[in-house]
A and B are shown apart, each in its own frame.
Chain A
Amino acid sequence: MNRIIVQLLKKEFILELRRKSVIAGLGLYLFSLIFICYLTFNLKQNSISPATWSALFWLTILFSVVNSVAKSFIGEKKGVFIYLYTIASPQQIILSKILYNTLLCWLISLTGYLLFSIFIFNPVQDQLTFFMVLLLVSIGFSTSLSLISGIAAKANNSNVLMAVLSFPVVISILLMAVRATKNALDGLELSSSSDELLNLVAINCISGALGYILFPYIWRS
Chain B
Amino acid sequence: MKTWLKIVAVVLLVYVHTAGLLMDVPRLNILNETVRALYFHVPMWFSMVLLYMMSVYYAIRYLRNPLTDFDTYSVTYAHVGTAFGVLGMITGMLWANYTWGSPWHGDPKQNGAAIALLVYLAYFVLRGSLENEEQRARLGAVYNIFAFAAMIPLIFIIPRLTSSMHPGSGGNPGFNAYDLDSRMRLVFYPAVIAWFLIGLWIVNIRVRIKKMEEKSIQ
Binding site for B on A (CB under 8 A): 144, 147-148, 151, 154-157, 161, 164-165, 167-169, 171-172, 175-176, 179, 195-196, 199, 203, 206-207, 210, 214, 217-218, 220-221
Contacts and interface: CB of A to CB of B under 8 A. Distances in A.
A216 B158 CA distance: 30
Interface string B107-128: 0000000011011001001100
B158 A172 contact: yes
B149 A151 contact: no
Contacts, number: 79
Nearest to A152: B126
Interface stretch (B40-48, B138-146, B173-181, B185-193): B138-146
A147 B153 contact: no
B131 interface: yes
Contacts of A169: 119, 146-147, 150
Interface of B: 63, 115-116, 118-119, 122, 125-126, 129-131, 135, 138-139, 141-143, 145-147, 149-150, 153-154, 157-158, 161
A151 B129 contact: no
Given A161-B126, A210-B149, A151 B118 contact: no
B129 A155 contact: yes
20 contacts: A147-B142, A148-B143, A151-B126, A151-B139, A154-B130, A155-B129, A155-B139, A156-B131, A161-B126, A168-B116, A168-B118, A168-B147, A172-B158, A179-B161, A199-B153, A207-B149, A214-B146, A218-B138, A218-B142, A221-B138
Given A171-B154, A195-B161, A165 B149 contact: no
Contacts of B129: 155-157, 161
Contacts of A156: 129-131
Contact of A151 (B63, B115, B143, B158): B143
A195 B158 CA distance: 11
Contacts of A179: 161
